[in-house]
Amino acid sequence: MKQYKNLIDGKLVDSKSGRTFENRNPANWDEVVGVFPKSNVEDLNMAIEAAKKAYKKWRAVPWPMRSEIMRKVAQIMIAKKEELSQLMTREMGKVIKETRGDTQEGIDTALYASLEGRKFYGYTLPSELPNKSCMTIREPLGVWSLITPWNFPIAIPTWKIFPCLLSGNTAVVKPATYTPACVGELAQIFKEAGLPDGVLNVVYGSGSEIGEAILNHPDIVGVSFTGSSEIGKRIGEVCGKTLKRCSLELGGKNGQVVLKDANLELALEGILWGAFGTTGQRCTATSRLILEAPIYDKFIDMLKARAEALTLGNGLNEDIDVGPLVSESQRESIHGYVEIGRKEGARMVTGGESYKQGECANGWFYKPTIFVDVLPTMRIAQEEIFGPVLSVIKAKDFNEAMSILNNTVYGLSSAIYTNDLNLAHKAIELTETGIVYINAPTIGAECHLPFGGMKDTGNGHREGGWTAYEIFTEIKTIYIDYSGSLQKAQIDTQG
Ligand code: NAP
Ligand code: MG
């Protein structure tokens, strides 16, 4: 069992508080994965001070040289891919195939950053006046706080860390309490790759204690947050008061629509992966299945059989389909929603209880659960459950399916299965989500494309690809007048 320490100014240090917390394996609660400092505001202040000091030098390092460090990070991550992925499975439970994918997404994001440093374009534009040129460049802002959730312990931190640092900012990362180890290992990799001290700092601790202090710290210029809508709204409120930039990636209530003409076998593979992959603990997980009436009964029969055949167990075993939930409280929360669904009158066709057989007795396993005859207004059709619970809703036709799909406060991801080209295009037009998949499940984002949601899923920013760099940079507009005389825009141009 490893003892982790905060990373502040390039040094591994204990918390000034002297407190620690344990991180346990959700598949086997007896296994302690690591012990971490439970930091206080003093630790945080030291980390912010270090990041502030490092910022002046780091922002002066040319972009291609910063990106060279990102390339080295990528190389070390590639070498450590299996080690990181196994740690991730032990730390948060998802199956090893998926944690390898999570780590790979981090590697891809690092490689993207390693190229972006050589092509970070600005604009050059004509002036309305003669002998004058205009351009824009992008600059870093300063010290950022990156606050991350537990469901993508490598991918999500890397979505933030790489664009943040490559852009010339410095950062203090506050990882989720359930998954601190992966960020700890990642920070070590940055150190190994030669990142200067203080550019990336990691402070472990609880969101309520450290998180709130971050939001209120005057030297933090921006907060990049991925997590629940509840905490996101709180962050937006505090950042609004002090005019800190903040990017919020929040919850989802994603739907998969299957139209009557669709390839049902393909749609079935999609829903199994979308609803029960990562044990339903993805912001993009499929939580609602909207079936067109003529295929409703047939598809439910197909789905029930396949969902019941999924194997539950320790995700380190290559044959397992579904790992545990991240914690006991998460399992209670999911079971609470199952009770709500029952009371609301939805019909449960499978699941609805914890799974405690054999080696699973010691973990937070929950059977894949399917409710049918769900009405769009029910709470299980409206609220984010964040577990392996699927609500199936019947739609009489395409238009009704689309209106059910959009009938949620969230707007992250949606999937439409059809072979009708016209309906596919119409669906793209009507869908109120930041990500739309045609004939593919609601999960499966690629790191070089914009990622984020509409409505209550966020505040308009997009991570991933080039758009992540827009979050972490400020535009500077430059006018160069080489006429040698005072030229007045809008005034001299009028004849
Ligand atoms: P969460 O409870 O909101 O926590 C996210 C992070 O915020 C954690 O590091 C947490 O620390 C910290 N935090 C808690 N209270 C805080 C406060 N008052 N101020 C500042 N930080 C605070 O979310 P979660 O349970 O980890 O993750 C699940 C949620 O994330 C779901 O709603 C899911 O949809 C969403 N999510 C969204 C996306 C997306 O891109 N749209 C991706 C993944 C997940 P502690 O761990 O110490 O509580
Ligand atoms: Mg939480």
Among 21, 145, 147, 329, which is best to mutate for testing ligand 1, by the most ligand atoms less than 8 A from CB? 147
CA atoms within 13 A on the CB side of 419: 8
Nearest residue by C-alpha to atom 38 in ligand 1 = 283
Closest to 256 in 3D by CA, of 276, 275, 277, 281: 275
The CATH architecture that domain 254-438 belongs to is 3-Layer(aba) Sandwich (3.40)
User: CA-CA distance, 173 to 161, in Å (whole number)?
Assistant: 8
Q: Which residues contact residue 115 at a Cβ distance below 8 angstroms, ignoring those fewer than 6 apart?
A: 67
Structure tokens at 437: 């998949």
pLDDT at residue 409, rounded to an integer: 97
User: Which CATH number, 3.40.605.10, 2.40.50.140, 2.40.50.100, 1.10.8.60, labels domain 2-250+458-478?
Assistant: 3.40.605.10
pTM: 0.97
User: CA-CA distance, 160 to 455, in Å (whole number)?
Assistant: 21
User: CA-CA distance, 272 to 370, in Å (whole number)?
Assistant: 11
- When pLDDT is averaged across residues 173-196 and rounded to a whole number, the result is 98
- When pLDDT is averaged across residues 303-320 and rounded to a whole number, the result is 98
User: CA-CA distance, 97 to 102, in Å (whole number)?
Assistant: 9
Give tens-digit pLDDT for 210-241: 999 999 999 999 999 999 999 999 999 999 99
Q: What distance in angstroms lies between residue 311's CA and the mean position of ligand 2's atoms?
A: 27
Q: Which residues contact residue 494 at a Cβ distance below 8 angstroms, ignoring those fewer than 6 apart?
A: none
Contact call for residues 308 and 276 (beta carbons, < 8 A): no
* Nearest ligand to the CA atom of 230: 1
Give tens-digit pLDDT for 282-309: 999 999 999 999 999 999 999 999 999 9
Atom number in ligand 1 closest to CA 249: 41
- When pLDDT is averaged across residues 197-216 and rounded to a whole number, the result is 96
Element (H or E) spanning 337, and its range? helix 328-344
The residue extents of the domains of the chain are: 2-250+458-478, 254-438
Element (H or E) spanning 124, and its range? strand 123-126
Say if residue 494's pLDDT is above 90. no
User: CA-CA distance, 159 to 143, in Å (whole number)?
Assistant: 17
- When pLDDT is averaged across residues 425-439 and rounded to a whole number, the result is 98
Say if residue 495's pLDDT is above 80. no
